[in-house]
Structure 1
Amino acid sequence: MNGNRLEGMIPQTIVNCHDLQGIDIGENKIRGVFPFWMETLPQLRILVLRSNKLGGTFLVYSNTNKPFPKLQVLDVSQNAFVGSLPDRYFKNFRAMIDVKENQTNDGANSFLKTIELKLTLKGLDQLLQRLLDTFTTIDLSSNRFSGIIPPSVGNLNCLRYLNLSHNTIRGHIPPSLEGMSLLESLDLSSNRLDGEIPDGCARLTFLAKLNVSMNNLKGQIPQSTQFSTFGNESYVGNVGLCGFPLTKHCERIDEKSILSQDDDDEFIDGFGWQCVVMGYGTGFVVGIGIGYMIIRSGRPRLLGEFIFGIGYNNRMKRRNREKTRLRRG
């Protein structure tokens, strides 16, 4: 039923179709909230709700222990969903954690061989005409999801495509992403992510498409054979990022200056308050002694010269000449 002008809400009576394997009602005008009641459909592999007018949050309590046990395709992009990302699903999508959950003994499954499914993969709209057991994708892009990317997303070690772009997700990119060893495409662009790109992401050897543009990321881009294949467009809009392939070089800290600074710090630390007190004390005693000797010898002029310099000596000479002139007069 994709690409029609369907309106209203999704009828909940669909839950009675226990053998249903695919639901595609994208590109319509469907309203309402996410159909949580579909969690119990035991054979559902495809759920496409993209480009509708659905909204609300994914934070709904459910008694289902294993929601969507065989789901391989979840596309709810271009709707108006809000709130946190579906952490509960990331922890329980069995078919995206272990591909063995999708394997079937029915080699003549006509549904898997004759589907026509339009999805956005690696940034391009593509027509999928066959669903392999190993094909898995989650597209939550172009909604209003907020909060952080939960570490539980790393549980999806069989996920091939993940698109969380064009939301208002904040916080750091979780290091747990390195556990998604089969990931081929990762799109986190146009969010509010900050911090550094985890070094572990460089170990995603199947990653063919990466887009973290238009965020607030900083630090050096991880260096690896895989990351060297991504162009500037993967990182544009992150003024704090540096390193290849960007033209902005990361600042290098001179090891010699660090060692010199450490030596200076050690010298300053060793030059403690005891030395300072001894210096002040010695200077005070010497000063008092010199002053006493000058006054005792009856030569305060020397003290004046010592304190006030040459100017004092010149003024004393002028005063003496004036006294002599007055006596002669």
Structure 2
Amino acid sequence: VLVLRNNNFHGPIWLYGKFFGFKKLRIMDLSFNNFDGDLSSEYFRNWSALNTEIPSANKSKLRYMGDVDNYYQDTMNLTNKGLEMVLKKILTTLSSIDISYNNFHGEIPSSLGDLKSLKVLNLSRNNFEGLIPSSLGKLSELESLDLSKNNLVGTIPQQLKDLNFLAFLNLSDNQLKGQIPQGGQFNTFQNSSFGGNLDLCGFPLSKKCERTPTPELESSESKNGFGWKTVVMGYGCGLVIGVTIEQVVALRRPNLFARIYT
């Protein structure tokens, strides 16, 4: 466990080539500081304790540091699912990364998706930019995800629908766009999970997504070489030509009768 929250620490938290990961770390809380800089994907490469999925048989009773009878017990404050709570007698089945309320910038590291046993991820209130990594969809144990109040753009990855245990989601106050993924846990989230993204649409927001033309209809018209507009124009031209010919014949008809009877 590494808890440094609510201090005045500042500066970057890693230097390239001088940091080789936390092999035993399962809980890191750096929230409410002034840390800055970007986080390379290399930063989370060697977090061995979080890179391995917890077997289902061991999730309720996991040995800590190889000691059969000595389970890790401690007390800490943790922001989980949008609520600040006090946790006591923590087992190592809990895993959390909270770096909220700092000044980190750059893209969210895609290597976070390798932390398969992570349950809580809070990156809110920073200056992260770019796309939400689709690799976060591999966090099969994740229960709480907070990416709010950053500068994230693009669409919400469809892979996030695969997070079957996700009970809390906050993507509000970014610059996301497009349709909100439908199905899975996304059907349980409220408007507040997506507010402040003016270009998002679809359930649960009241803003509906615009319908695009049916691809089959467009391809059919292109394949035949003409569409309904061409057909209408053809009928119009045919009608005009037909009326013109009829008038010409009518004008010449008296002269024709005169030749026959003289």
- TM bin, normalised by shorter chain, reads 0.7 to 0.9
With over 3 angstroms needed to count, the CA separation of the structure-2 counterparts of 1:91 and 1:105, relative to structure 1, is closer
Which residue does 1:37 correspond to in 2? none
Q: Is the 8 A contact 2:161 2:183 kept in 1?
A: yes
Question: Which stretch of the first structure deviates more once superposed, 143-152 or 82-91?
Answer: 82-91
1:109 alignment counterpart: 70
Q: 2:202 matched to 1:263?
A: no
Within 2, Cα distance between the matches of 1:84 and 1:64? Answer: 14
Aligned to 1:97: 51
CA contact (8 A) 1:95 1:102 kept: no
- Name which of structure 1's ranges 55-64 and 257-266 shifts more when overlaid on structure 2: 257-266
Distance 1:258 1:75, change over 3 A: same
Task: Say whether the 8 Å CA contact 1:148–1:172 is kept in structure 2.
Answer: yes
Shift of 1:155: 0.7
Selected match of 2:5 from 50, 56, 60: 50
In structure 2, what is the equivalent of residue 34 of structure 1?
none
Alpha-carbon offset, residue 252 of structure 1? 1.2
Note if 1:251 corresponds to 2:195.
no
The residue aligned with 2:79 is: 120
- Is 1:224 paired with 2:183? yes
**Who wins on radius of gyration, i.e. which is larger?**
1
Q: Structure 1: give runs of 5+ residues left out of the alignment.
A: 1-45, 269-329
Q: Offset at 1:64?
A: 5.4
- Structure having the larger proportion of residues in strand: 2
Aligned to 1:148: 107
TM-score (norm 1): 0.62
Residues 99 and 222 of structure 1: CA distance in aligned 2, closer, same or farther (over 3 Å): closer
Q: CA RMSD in A?
A: 2.5
Alignment partners' CA distance in 2, 1:232 and 1:89: 33
Q: 2:165 aligns with which of 193, 199, 206?
A: 206
8 Å contact kept, 1:214–1:238: yes
Counterparts of 1:99 and 1:180 in 2: how far apart (Å)? 10
2:192 matches 1:238? no
Contact 1:169 1:193 in 2 (8 A): yes
Distance, in Å, in 2 between the alignment partners of 1:69 and 1:267 is 65
In structure 2, C-alpha distance between the alignment counterparts of 1:99 and 1:253, rounded to whole Å:
41
- Summarize deviations over 1:123-150 as a string: whole Å, max 9, x none: 1111110221211000010100110012
Opposite residue 191 of structure 1, the aligned amino acid is N
SS in 2 for 1:145: strand
Cα pair distance change 1:99/1:259, threshold 3 Å? closer
Superposed CA deviations along residues 20-39 of structure 1, whole A, max 9, x for unmatched, are xxxxxxxxxxxxxxxxxxxx
- Equivalenced residue count is 221
List, as ranges, runs of 4+ consecutive aligned residues in structure 1 with deviation greater than 6 Å: none
- 1:106 to partner: Cα distance: 2.1
Whether the 8 Å CA contact 2:120–2:142 is kept in 1: the answer is yes
Tell me how far apart the structure 2 counterparts of residues 241 and 166 of structure 1 sit (CA, whole Å). Answer: 20
Secondary structure of the equivalent of 2:135? helix
Unpaired runs of at least 5, structure 2: 55-61, 228-262
- Kept in 1, the 8 Å contact 2:63–2:70? The answer is no
Between the aligned partners of 1:60 and 1:145, the Cα distance in structure 2 is: 14
Identity of paired residues, percent?
Answer: 45
Which letter does structure 2 place at the counterpart of 1:75? D
Q: What do residues 287-329 of structure 1 show as CA deviations (whole Å, max 9, x unaligned)? A: xxxxxxxxxxxxxxxxxxxxxxxxxxxxxxxxxxxxxxxxxxx
Q: Structure 2: how far apart are the matches of 1:170 and 1:90? A: 18
| Distance in structure 2 (CA, Å) of the matches to 1:84 and 1:265 | 54
2:105 and 2:127 in contact (8 A); partners too: yes
Shift of the alpha carbon at 1:261? 8.7
Give me the whole-angstrom Cα distance separating, in 1, the residues matched to 2:215 and 2:114.
44
- Tell me, in whole angstroms, the C-alpha distance in 2 between the residues paired with 1:133 and 1:154: 19
Task: Report the Cα distance in structure 1 between the residues aligned to 2:30 and 2:90, rounded to whole angstroms.
Answer: 18
Relative to 1, partners in 2 of residues 1:64 and 1:264: Cα closer, same or farther, differing over 3 Å?
closer
